[in-house]
Structures are given as C-alpha cells and as structure tokens.
Amino acid sequence: RPRVLSGIQPTADSFHLGNFLGALQQWVPLQEDFDAFYFIPDLHAITVAQDPKELRRRTKIAVAQLLAVGIDPDRSTLFVQSQVPEHAQLAWVLNCITGFGEASRMTQFKDKSAKQGAENASVGLFTYPVLMAADILLYRPQRVPVGEDQRQHLELARDLAQRFNTRFGKAFVIPEAQIIKGTAKIYDLQDPTSKMSKSGPSPAGLINLLDDPKVSAKKIKSAVTDNEREIRYDRETKPGVSNLLTIQSALLGTPVETLVAGYAGKGYGDLKSDTADVLTDFVTPLRTKVDEYLADEAELDRIIAAGAHRAREVSSQTLATVYEKVGFLTPK
C-alpha cells in the first residue's frame, strides 16, 4: 500500500478548527487506502520555550484528540516523535546538505522569529523545516496531507530528497503535499484575512475544538463579516462570510454553492447561528471522546508505545540506508 505521513504539534491544550479542517479531516479517510503514519512532533514543539510538565500533558491530549477524531491505532501508526530517535539522527544529515540561504528563505521562520526578535530565536527554530523534512523522508510516503501554511516546508523536503538521491544514491521517495483546496486555509474569525492560529491577535478569532461549545458558538456569532447583506462566497471582498461558509460546508459535507442557494433571502444572523449549531454538533461528542481516552491512561500509554515500535521498524531501515550511503561505518 502507498504511504501517507503527517504531524501536528502539541503546543496548546486543544487543536483548533483550522488544524482540523486543513489537516486532520483528510487524515481519517486516508487510512482506508494508505499505510498511514501520524505523529505528534514534540521535538518541533521545543523550538520555542515549553514548560516540561505542560508539554507532557499536551502531548497526551494531542494523542487523545487524534484518537477521538478517528485515527485508528490498529490500522495506522500513531506515534510521538521524541520516541523515535531516527528523526533527530536523519535531521542532522539533512542539515549538512541544506544551504544556509535556503533555510533563511523559509517564511514561517521569518514570521516566527520576527515575533520574538530574530536575535532571540533558537537555532532549533531556524532548522525546524529540516527536521520536518527528516520526519517525512524517513517513512518514504507518497503524500503528506497538510494545510496551505506547510507548502513551502514540503517543497524543501522534496528538494532535500532529490539532492540526497542525486549526490549519494537513491534513499528517498519524493513526497507530494496533499492540500485540500477549499479548506487549505481557515481564517481568523475576527480578522478574516489572516490565518486562524493559536498565536492570532485575539482569542475571539480562534475556535478550539475542546473549548466549551457555548463559548465557540458565541465566537461564531460575533465573527467579523461586512456591511452588505448578501450571503455569497467571495474571498476577496467578503472574507468573513466566505470563511463561515467554508467552515459550515466542510463540517456538514455540503458544497458551498448548495449552502449559498439555501440562504437566498436570508441574513448574516442565519448564517452565523446555523454555523454555530453545526459546530456545536461536531465538537460536543468529540470532547466526550477525548475525555474517555484520557481517562484510560494505561491504554493511551500502550497505544503510544506500540506506535513508536512500529514507526522504528520503518525509520531504522531508512536511516541505516542513509548512514551507509554517506559513508559512516556499519556497526559490527
């Protein structure tokens, strides 16, 4: 079976709606036809300061959320990055074939480091996309399902794979980003021209999957729209309305055009309260499931351990090939 791989960071108490609609939503059905590897990149998380206790707690919540949205640990390999040492080992080799200028052009690094003052950014943050390339290339996946903001990182992973294969002989598959057009970028509810993100300007713009549904419904109802009355999809002139249509459409599985047709003669209040209802129906059972998975700590630990074991079966083989090709001695 062909492979897919993707990861999501454990840097908050909850995944947000952008994470779900851009990425996780794709992960679940891909399990049908692909040998799927999904993981929590905790090594990536520490590129910015983390409280150790919180990191450990959030990593478990992250795993529980993946189980709750429908990642099946019997079919897919679900693991935590730091338990698979090959990620850091391959990252070093890839660091050594990445140009300093090439890494400097990564826009996410530029944005994130600008926020903390470039002088204070860690070297880990700088080399973050190289570690991400290692995450991917170790498992030789054909596809990597992500949101739009990861596209440039995927390009780097492809370039590095190609470069290594050319220089040392074929070790890697060249992966493709799989980005769903409609939901590649979910926008902030208060500033619908920028991406929904946990580090956005206002908490009112962000929907966390595990927040109280009443709080989330209120946020939807106070979403910024525009001064017209007409409900139609137009990202340029009606970003707020378009974002709500996208969210409702994706959660319901109903095309945007069908929703728009149904809103003929109706107002923004209807769009907002329907979207809030759809969201409430989606998150309410999810919260219960997450709590159930978190309550059985022994089972959660077992799933995590089994995932690491399976991941290493693949990652250790790729790393051995790479080490051999770059000229390291084979341990006897």
Residue ranges for the known binding site for ATP are: 9-11, 18-19, 147-149, 186, 195-199
Residues making up the annotated binding site are: 9-11, 18-19, 135, 147-149, 186, 195-199
- Catalytic-labelled residue, pool 110, 170, 185, 195: 195
Residue pair 278/252 in contact by the 8 Å Cβ criterion = yes
What residues from 175 to 214 belong to the interface with ligand TYM (CB under 6 A)? 185-186, 195-197
Least Å distance between CB 84 and ligand TYM?
12
Which among 18-26, 207-215, 306-314, 315-323 is the span making contact with ligand TYM, rule CB under 6 A? 18-26
Out of 198, 221, 289, 325, the active site residue is 198
Torsion over CA: 164, 165, 169, 170 (sign): positive
The DSSP string of 245-284 is HHHHHHHHT--HHHHHHHTTT--HHHHHHHHHHHHHHHHH
Q: Is 195 a catalytic residue?
A: yes
Q: Which residues pair with 39 in a beta bridge?
A: 7, 79
CA contacts within 13 A on the Cβ side of 165:
13
User: Is 325 known to be catalytic?
Assistant: no
| Residue 64: closest CA among 287, 312, 275 | 287
**Residue 137 engages ligand TYM in binding (rule: CB under 6 A):** no
- Of 128 and 293, nearer to ligand TYM (C-beta) is 128
| Residue whose CB is less far from ligand TYM, 8 or 61 | 8
**Interhelix angle for 25-33 vs 52-69, to 10°?**
60
- Annotated catalytic residue 266: no
Least Å distance, CB 8 to ligand TYM, is: 4
* Catalytic residue annotation: 112, 195, 198
